Amino acid sequence: MCPPDVFQELPKINADSQRLEQVLTNLVSNAVKFTPEGKSIVVKSELVNAKDLRYEECFTPILDKLEGEYILVSVKDEGIGIAKENLLHVFDKFAQIENSLSRKVGGSGLGLPIAKQLIEAHKGAIWCDSEEGQGTTFYFAIPVVTELQVIK
């Protein structure tokens, strides 16, 4: 049985649900692609304050701008992992890491840069952390309060 906090109700966000679904689909399909059979993939969402976020230094310019409360979604896999020096570059257009598995499975190298644009359109952020050979976690955070601007 799941602990009760797994079903914790999260605050509402101002978002385009189809676009967020597209981002999540991208992250989960990458996780499936780069994780061997029998290993696990965990998707989670939680309420966090930006000041409690921990991340690799390369993401500081993106993440230290965040303030206040966010819904944090994470996709954690037990796959091949990403070397620290490549964490930022996987968000570049048409970028794929040179290794036998990513070349074998194919892909356009556009999934993550598109996800980044969609998340930034929501005033959010997307980043990842990884241990090579152990697995990778992708995160995206969407602000809980985004005022709708009324144009007169």
Ligand X SMILES: Nc1ncnc2c1ncn2[C@@H]1O[C@H](COP(=O)(O)OP(=O)(O)O)[C@@H](O)[C@H]1O
- Which of 77, 140 has the CB closer to ligand X? 77
Question: What is the dihedral sign for C-alpha 80, 85, 89, 95?
Answer: negative
> Does 119 interact with ligand X (rule: CB under 6 A)?
no
Q: Where are the beta strands (DSSP E) in 10-147?
A: 41-49, 69-77, 125-131, 135-143
Q: Could you say which of Mg ion, ligand X, none residue 90 binds, taking C-beta under 5 to 8 angstroms by partner kind?
A: ligand X
Among 25, 40, 108, 146, indicate the residue that binds ligand X (CB under 6 A).
108
Give, as ranges, the residues between 125 and 144 that touch ligand X (CB under 6 A): 136
- Which of 30, 130 has the CB closer to Mg ion? 30
> Which residues are registered as beta bridge partners of 45?
73
Shortest spacing between CB 79 and ligand X, in angstroms: 5
User: Candidates 9-17, 52-60, 75-83, 141-149 — which segment interacts with ligand X by CB under 6 A?
Assistant: 75-83
Spatial distance between the Cα atoms of 141 and 87, rounded to a whole number of angstroms: 17
Shortest spacing between CB 4 and ligand X, in angstroms: 30
Give, as ranges, the residues between 86 and 105 that touch ligand X (CB under 6 A): 90, 95-97, 102
Contacts of 83-87 with CB under 8 Å at 24 or more apart are 83/130, 83/132, 84/56, 84/58, 84/130, 87/56, 87/58, 87/59, 87/127, 87/128, 87/129, 87/130
- Give the residues lining the site for ligand X (CB under 6 A): 26, 30-31, 34, 77, 79-80, 82, 90, 95-97, 102, 107-112, 136
